[in-house]
Chain A
Amino acid sequence: MTEPIDIAVIGGGNAALCAAITAAEAGARVLILETAPKPYRGGNSRHTRNFRCMHHGPLGPLVDSYTEEEYLADLMKVTDGKTDEGLARLAIRSSEECLPWMEAHGVRFQPSLSGTLSLARTNAFFLGGGKSLVNAYYRTAEALGVRVLYEAAVSHLELEDDRIACLDYTHDGQTHRISPKSVVVASGGFQADTDWLARAWGPAAKNFLIRGTPYNRGVVLADLLDQGVAQVGDPTQCHAVAIDGRAPKFDGGIVTRLDCVPFSIVVNKNAQRFYDEGEDVWPKRYAIWGRLVAAQPDQVGYVIIDAKSLKLFMPSVFPPIEADTLEDLADKMGLPPDELRRTVDEFNNACGDTSAFHPTELDGVATKGLNPPKTNWARPITDPPFYGYSLRTGVTFTYLGLKVDERAQCSVGNRPVSNLWAAGETMAGSILGQGYLAGFGMTIGTVFGRIAGKEAAAHANAT
């Protein structure tokens, strides 16, 4: 790196790009250091598809209104109040102005995707998904003169008193040391480092699948935390969903999700049910099932449905396991057949009148006298062929991260680090204490990416 730079942005996903673009528009010379090779650039943003957005009246693809209070209430519900209300409100309020900004910087939206109509009011979907957003931002950034290095792995940031003096990265087999005026960290969580996950979760974590990029290994996060930079969040908290157990270890992305749980019973490896499968519509429940499955023996669950439910949910990427009897299905799935038969019979006997069954609404078709109950969509599992899927915990991103203030600035010992900002998943734990709200990760990344870029540029321009 011979040309001088003002700002180093570590990471190459949505938050990093929003920061880089904002800083470059403020006149700063920006360098993006992206660990991944070009085809895998963009971190987890590559797999995203929407942006949760507050709005008063129709905005872009969004219908009606979605107020700050309603948005916050949704967040409070999923996090059980474990959030920083000030930062949460900042993210929510700023989201409204982000949407036109995103469009102005190349992002294109579309009406809600089929199968996600329940989100038409709250979430704006990217045409082509997150990778198209990432592509558009790289085009915009490069047109603004932002330089991008792929396969540039940052290994260390040198903290001296209250500032980052320099940073080290390797590229093309060589180590480089640069001293930018400002540094933005937007390099995600640590979920791809399964050893770190195992330290937090215990050996069970080795059975987790990582839904997104294999490059978010928390190297920079660990380096900064080791030097005393303030941390936030619980290392066991993360965005985790239950996904198809046959998904690849890394990078399976959206297609590995299964939407059949509300129409099923889910059992563990002993063929025992363990939670109310019909508690709420799937978009509001998919994010708790990752933890539910993680708590079961061998961190695995098995979804059982029958023929009448097969077409009620989005097609799966891997075909379901199929058998004409429950016993055969149990055999094929490695479950104890007698136990499965007993569990299904018990469930079927607890089902009542199913005439009100309605697959897309809470229909109140519930079991009676069963523990745990199934409180909606409870229809007996009787029609062959029977179908099964295995479920595993799929981690999207971890919440342990860098604590930031409303200017996205990091701190050490209650003092701000004068030239260090963080954005995106690496600081999302500041707002998400637990749980997850669909599309909120992109909101946090966009809002705090822009703030970090603006602050980093102001600092660089003033020094």
Chain B
Amino acid sequence: MQMQPDLIQEARRQAEICNACRYCEGYCSVFPALHRERAFADGDITHLANLCHNCRGCYYACQYTAPHEFDLNLPKALAEVRQDSWKAHAWPRPFAELFERSGVAMAAFLTLSFALLFALAQWMRPEGGEGFYAFMSHSLMVAIFAPAFLLPLLTLVVSLRGYWQSTGAQAVRLSDLGDALRSAGRMRNLEGGHGDGCNFEDEDRFSHARRHAHQAVLYGFLLCFASTSSATVMHYVFGLEAPYGFFSLPKLLGVPGGLLLTLGCGLLAWLKTRADRDLGAPRYWGGEMAFVLLLGAVGATGLALYAATGTAAVPALLALHLGLVLTFFLLTPYSKMAHGFYRLAALTIEAAKVRKTGA
């Protein structure tokens, strides 16, 4: 699918002004990358857009924002291109439209999956089984969730390959990926260059609130993922089946992970209500918010499910939690979740470029 030329052209117009100014050089990776070029191909603009973490430092420091006639709003211009690039590379293509209606799609998917899973838990309840498996057999869960997890990853591989080609990226090394992971692990691009953080919830005030909230979500999510993975290993390799006690790997990873995920998403959602929507891509605001709430709800219902062990609330909570997870998985390539993959690709490409040019 073609990217929208008017969005790229507007970002290019702004980047050319930035390139003649360079005051923002120290804020993030975008500016050194921008200053490397004298002219910007479409792929360069897409690369800059996916490198941008929307920290907004450049907007509030800019002498050319409206009402100035140059009317710069680089975070917005890049956010629009970024969103458009995800949409353009989404595969299979008909699903790309889901980006436009993320919130609605999530609500619809969630309702359907909840109904489906609730029905399954009611009418296909296994004879035996302990804990969750008393309501849904392990094999049924695997039959649903293994493809729901793997298929979206597969489509993301196709999308990222297209993205990679469109930015004209060349060969990268493992060390470039290492650089990218370190950058993402620290959210270096939300540190603001000076280490005071980014601008978000209170105009030009620098704070780490968004960075820390994002870290909580990121690490919370990874802990939850590690928890599930450890349970899978325990199940298949060691024959240790759920339910697990508190002092087991799945719980020791999953409980803090769930807490971080829930709190992080709550904070991110709150910060999002405080921030100026017009410094992002306003059309996608609702979808992004829906995604944050969905992810937070995954964490919260997971914790609730654990807390409700042995009560009558388990079947409904189980269906809700699994419905949220299913929705999250299936929409990963067509929701804000995609940003993590594209961002990592952009950071890796950028690390390779820096290595090659020395700047």
Interface status of A450 (Cβ within 8 A of chain B):
no
Contacts of A46 in B (CB 8 A): 63
Rounded to whole angstroms, the CA-CA distance of A452 and B16 in the bound complex is: 40
Rounded to whole angstroms, the CA-CA distance of A108 and B23 in the bound complex is: 12
With contact pairs A114-B35, A255-B20, A317-B20 given, residues A135 and B60 touching in the complex (Cβ less than 8 Å): yes
Interface status of A277 (Cβ within 8 A of chain B):
no
Interface status of B69 (Cβ within 8 A of chain A):
yes
Interface status of B302 (Cβ within 8 A of chain A):
no
> Which of B24-32, B174-182, B234-242 lies at the interface with chain A?
B24-32
Rounded to whole angstroms, the CA-CA distance of A316 and B38 in the bound complex is: 9
1/0 contact string of B259-298 vs chain A (CB within 8 Å):
0000000000000000000000000000000000000000
A423 to chain B, nearest CB (A): 22
Tell whether, in the assembled complex, residue B193 and residue A110 are in contact, meaning their CB atoms are under 8 Å apart: yes
Q: Report which residue of A39, A128, A317 has the largest number of chain B beta carbons within 10 angstroms of its beta carbon.
A: A128
Q: Report which residue of A127, A314, A316 has the largest number of chain B beta carbons within 10 angstroms of its beta carbon.
A: A127
Rounded to whole angstroms, the CA-CA distance of A251 and B72 in the bound complex is: 14
With contact pairs A254-B23, A315-B38 given, residues A47 and B204 touching in the complex (Cβ less than 8 Å): no
Rounded to whole angstroms, the CA-CA distance of A127 and B66 in the bound complex is: 21
A47, A108, A110, A132: the one contacting B60 at CB < 8 Å is A132
Q: Please, which residue of chain A has its CB at the minimum distance from the CB of B19?
A: A315
Q: Please, which residue of chain B has its CB at the minimum distance from the CB of A256?
A: B20
Interface status of B61 (Cβ within 8 A of chain A):
yes
Rounded to whole angstroms, the CA-CA distance of A108 and B64 in the bound complex is: 20
Interface status of B125 (Cβ within 8 A of chain A):
no
Interface status of B58 (Cβ within 8 A of chain A):
yes
Contacts of B22 in A (CB 8 A): 113-115, 314
Contacts of B141 in A (CB 8 A): none
Tell whether, in the assembled complex, residue B204 and residue A135 are in contact, meaning their CB atoms are under 8 Å apart: yes
Q: How large is the interface on A (under 10, 10 to 19, 20 to 34, 35 or more residues)?
A: 20 to 34
B25, B27, B67, B194: the one contacting A114 at CB < 8 Å is B25
A311 to chain B, nearest CB (A): 7
Contacts of A254 in B (CB 8 A): 20-21, 23, 63
A70 to chain B, nearest CB (A): 27
Contacts of A108 in B (CB 8 A): 193-194, 196
B59 to chain A, nearest CB (A): 10
Tell whether, in the assembled complex, residue B21 and residue A255 are in contact, meaning their CB atoms are under 8 Å apart: yes
Rounded to whole angstroms, the CA-CA distance of A42 and B58 in the bound complex is: 17
Which residues of chain A from 360 to 411 have a CB within 8 Å of any chain B CB?
A: none
1/0 contact string of B153-197 vs chain A (CB within 8 Å):
000000000000000000000000000000000000000011010
With contact pairs A110-B193, A132-B61, A253-B63 given, residues A127 and B27 touching in the complex (Cβ less than 8 Å): yes
Contacts of B205 in A (CB 8 A): 139
Which residues of chain A from 165 to 205 have a CB within 8 Å of any chain B CB?
A: none
Q: Please, which residue of chain B has its CB at the minimum distance from the CB of A253?
A: B63
B36 to chain A, nearest CB (A): 9
Which residues of chain B from 197 to 227 have a CB within 8 Å of any chain A CB?
A: 204-205
Interface status of B62 (Cβ within 8 A of chain A):
yes
A276 to chain B, nearest CB (A): 26
Tell whether, in the assembled complex, residue A110 and residue B69 are in contact, meaning their CB atoms are under 8 Å apart: no
Contacts of A316 in B (CB 8 A): 20
B53 to chain A, nearest CB (A): 16
Interface status of A439 (Cβ within 8 A of chain B):
no
Interface status of A290 (Cβ within 8 A of chain B):
no
B17, B24, B35, B61: the one contacting A255 at CB < 8 Å is B17
Please, how many residues of chain B have a CB less than 8 angstroms from a CB on the other chain?
Answer: 31
With contact pairs A110-B25, A255-B20 given, residues A129 and B63 touching in the complex (Cβ less than 8 Å): yes
Tell whether, in the assembled complex, residue A317 and residue B17 are in contact, meaning their CB atoms are under 8 Å apart: yes
With contact pairs A139-B204, A311-B38 given, residues A130 and B63 touching in the complex (Cβ less than 8 Å): yes
Q: Please, which residue of chain A has its CB at the minimum distance from the CB of B21?
A: A255
Which residues of chain B from 1 to 45 have a CB within 8 Å of any chain A CB?
A: 16-17, 19-27, 35, 38
Tell whether, in the assembled complex, residue A128 and residue B61 are in contact, meaning their CB atoms are under 8 Å apart: yes
Q: Please, which residue of chain B has its CB at the minimum distance from the CB of A109?
A: B194
Rounded to whole angstroms, the CA-CA distance of A285 and B86 in the bound complex is: 47
Interface status of A291 (Cβ within 8 A of chain B):
no
Q: Please, which residue of chain A has its CB at the minimum distance from the CB of B66?
A: A39
Interface status of B57 (Cβ within 8 A of chain A):
yes
Rounded to whole angstroms, the CA-CA distance of A139 and B69 in the bound complex is: 26
Q: Please, which residue of chain A has its CB at the minimum distance from the CB of B25?
A: A113
Q: Report which residue of B25, B60, B65, B193 has the largest number of chain A beta carbons within 10 angstroms of its beta carbon.
A: B25
With contact pairs A108-B196, A135-B61, A251-B68 given, residues A129 and B204 touching in the complex (Cβ less than 8 Å): no
B16, B19, B193: the one contacting A127 at CB < 8 Å is B193
Tell whether, in the assembled complex, residue B23 and residue A113 are in contact, meaning their CB atoms are under 8 Å apart: yes
Interface status of A49 (Cβ within 8 A of chain B):
yes
Rounded to whole angstroms, the CA-CA distance of A317 and B68 in the bound complex is: 15
B20, B24, B65, B69: the one contacting A128 at CB < 8 Å is B24
1/0 contact string of A313-332 vs chain B (CB within 8 Å):
01111000000000000000
Contacts of B38 in A (CB 8 A): 311, 315
Interface status of A111 (Cβ within 8 A of chain B):
yes
Rounded to whole angstroms, the CA-CA distance of A49 and B63 in the bound complex is: 11
A145 to chain B, nearest CB (A): 17
Contacts of A126 in B (CB 8 A): 23
A104 to chain B, nearest CB (A): 13
Contacts of A110 in B (CB 8 A): 25-26, 193-194
B46 to chain A, nearest CB (A): 20
Rounded to whole angstroms, the CA-CA distance of A104 and B107 in the bound complex is: 49
B16, B35, B61, B66: the one contacting A317 at CB < 8 Å is B16
With contact pairs A114-B22, A135-B204, A314-B20 given, residues A128 and B27 touching in the complex (Cβ less than 8 Å): yes
Q: What are 11 A-to-B residue pairs whose CB atoms are below 8 Å?
A: A108-B193, A111-B26, A126-B23, A128-B57, A130-B23, A132-B204, A135-B60, A135-B204, A139-B204, A255-B70, A317-B20
With A113-B22, A129-B61 already in contact, 14 other A-B pairs whose C-beta atoms are closer than 8 Å? A114-B35, A115-B22, A127-B194, A128-B60, A129-B23, A129-B63, A130-B23, A131-B60, A135-B60, A139-B204, A253-B64, A254-B23, A254-B63, A255-B20
Residues of A within 8 A of B (CB): 39-40, 46-47, 49, 108, 110-111, 113-115, 126-132, 135, 139, 248, 251, 253-255, 257, 311, 314-317
